[in-house]
Structure 1
Amino acid sequence: MLSSFKSGFGQQLRIGIAPDALALVRTSIWPHERARLLGQVAATGGDAVSLGAALGMLLGEHDVAGLPATVVLADDLVRLWQVTPPEGATRLADLEGAAALRYQSLFGGGLAGWAMRADWDAARPFLAAALPLALLDQLTAAASSQRFKLVEIVPQFVAAMNQHRRIRRAGAWFGVVHGGVLSVAAFDGDLLAAVRTAPIPPGADRDWLEGHVAREALRVGLSRPERLQICGPAPNGWGSSAGRLKFACTLFEDETDPLWPDCARLALTGRAP
């Protein structure tokens, strides 16, 4: 019953937002309670206004007041890039300036209309993300009107990397599959070298994956990785098999119900086990 859901200690919400759909999932800190898909709704467009309207419809069907909520944004809605800190950087302003310049060179414009977040580091390359301000405003307004606690807004790729950070193997690249797209973080040893995203063609097999990784390595100026570690609904054929010597590929086990829609799987990205 909804009343027991509202009163249960340790209940949390996760909201997955993709350009075409949104999902609301309830999770719990208690290991015996499984995640529950509360609802999903299609979005009529990928713009902030359309997504805000869809979010209002989704949340309007549930009493979420007082509950903490984490929002996971599909990588289609954000911009991700790698930043090399300038030599001798000592201030946050130095890192912010380097990130803004790198953003401009990659995306052909300034950060007007975007909110920049990053894992700031003056000693090594770091990952930066830009989130649309208009969408952040919609999320803030929804939290205010529905009276839930907005505790985190995170891009899917960042959430996945944080979730698997401790088990990333030395020399491995890291990938995320969602919505027919493969995003890959290329590493030079332990240093982040680039973040690359590409659509997965229909029927993409292990040969396609090996060719794709080889091309991305050339573009970034790195050797092919020893291993690729991937989370998300990747084709089973991508996993390592006998006779495959170019690089190993590990597919992290996906504990999400395979019948759940992509937007619900998105919502659970980064959830603590």
Structure 2
Amino acid sequence: MRKWFGRGLRLGLAPDGLALVRTGFWPHEQAQLLAQARFKENNIDAVLREAGRMLADQEGSGWALRVVLSDELVRLWQVAPPPGATRMADFEAACALRYQALFGASPAGWQIRADWSATRPFLAAAVPQTLLAQLQAAASGSGFRLIEVQPQFVAALNQHRAMRRPGAWFGLVHGGVLSVAAFDGDKLAAVRTAPIPEGADRDWLEGHVAREALRVGLGRPERLQVSGPAPKGWASSAGRLKFACTLFEDELDPLWPDSARLAMTGRAP
């Protein structure tokens, strides 16, 4: 069955929609949008039922399935490691305490993963365990191997990590929202999210980045590198001296829905 090696499915899930995409043998091989659905209101239970139906309609038993979750379905936060901590139990306890402080509840019922570090603040993510169980049941019930579930922002950050330039912050545009990873040197200092107003131009972007820099106690970045369907006017142009802005290009069909772009977040270029 060598002809199937490297092929797989990518599923993008948001509270109001989803899309299933098939990827090919080679990284640059054109992906195929297999199915997509949109709901008028947020209804994750309906989205998960539709995901099960979509998977049941596909052939390719044994194929790998990767799932990308919109950030509305997960929780992301920064954790400062306890001074002198060396045991994983110490990091996990600090992570849970920070979670409770931010979200006002115990992390029971959520599965937590993090970029654990004893020397610098790290990013943590939590996904509802019930959601993970339903995804696993839908995948195995249709003969697919669920090998990865990632929040969209984490997937995008990892995808472009090697391309981040010194002094740059990273941004992701998704569903009318801009999420920004603020870096202090090579250390991730904060993740900030804000809706993008209609008609947001370069002046709005510069004002937004300046305000976020003040909020997190950092200087304005030398460059902002942005992934996703950002306004073209955000890119650097002559006379712009406050900071440069680079828009990462993608080869996806511009007519694809946001849920399909969500599914493809994190795929190697």
TM range (shorter): over 0.9
Aligned mates of 2:223, 2:88 — CA distance in 1 = 34
* Equivalent in the alignment of 1:218: 214
Larger CA deviation: 227-236 vs 129-138: 129-138
CA deviations 1:188-214 (Å, max 9, x no partner) are 111111111111111111111111111
Aligned match for 2:233, one of 231, 234, 237: 237
CA displacement at 1:113 relative to structure 2 = 2.2
Query: Could you say what secondary structure the match of 1:209 adopts?
Result: helix
* Equivalent in the alignment of 1:271: 267
CA displacement at 1:173 relative to structure 2 = 0.7
* Equivalent in the alignment of 2:186: 190
The amino acid of 1:182's aligned partner reads L
CA displacement at 1:78 relative to structure 2 = 0.8
* Equivalent in the alignment of 1:149: 145
CA displacement at 1:57 relative to structure 2 = 2.5
TM-score with structure 1 setting the length: 0.94
Aligned mates of 1:48, 1:264 — CA distance in 2 = 17
Larger CA deviation: 52-61 vs 204-213: 52-61
Contact 1:42 1:54 in 2 (8 A): no
CA deviations 1:36-59 (Å, max 9, x no partner) are 111112246545422221212322
Contact 1:45 1:51 in 2 (8 A): no
Please state if 1:166 is matched with 2:166: no
The amino acid of 1:242's aligned partner reads A
* Equivalent in the alignment of 1:42: 38
Percentage of identical aligned residues: 69
Aligned mates of 1:195, 1:31 — CA distance in 2 = 29
Query: Could you say what secondary structure the match of 2:268 adopts?
Result: coil
Contact 1:22 1:43 in 2 (8 A): no
Contact 2:15 2:44 in 1 (8 A): no
Please state if 1:63 is matched with 2:66: no
* Equivalent in the alignment of 1:80: 76
Aligned mates of 2:27, 2:69 — CA distance in 1 = 25
Query: How much is the aligned-residue C-alpha RMSD, in angstroms?
Result: 1.7
CA deviations 1:94-130 (Å, max 9, x no partner) are 1111111211222222212211110111111111001
Contact 2:4 2:25 in 1 (8 A): no
Please state if 1:138 is matched with 2:138: no
Contact 2:16 2:44 in 1 (8 A): no
* Equivalent in the alignment of 2:203: 207
Aligned match for 1:119, one of 115, 119, 127: 115
Contact 1:13 1:69 in 2 (8 A): yes
> Structure 1 residues 45 and 91, CA, compared in 2 at 3 Å: closer, same or farther?
farther
CA deviations 1:219-238 (Å, max 9, x no partner) are 11111111111000000001
Query: Could you say what secondary structure the match of 2:91 adopts?
Result: helix
The amino acid of 1:24's aligned partner reads L
Aligned mates of 2:155, 2:131 — CA distance in 1 = 18
Please state if 1:21 is matched with 2:25: no
Query: Could you say what secondary structure the match of 1:24 adopts?
Result: strand
Count of equivalent residues: 269
The amino acid of 1:203's aligned partner reads G
TM-score with structure 2 setting the length: 0.95
* Equivalent in the alignment of 2:104: 108
* Equivalent in the alignment of 2:245: 249
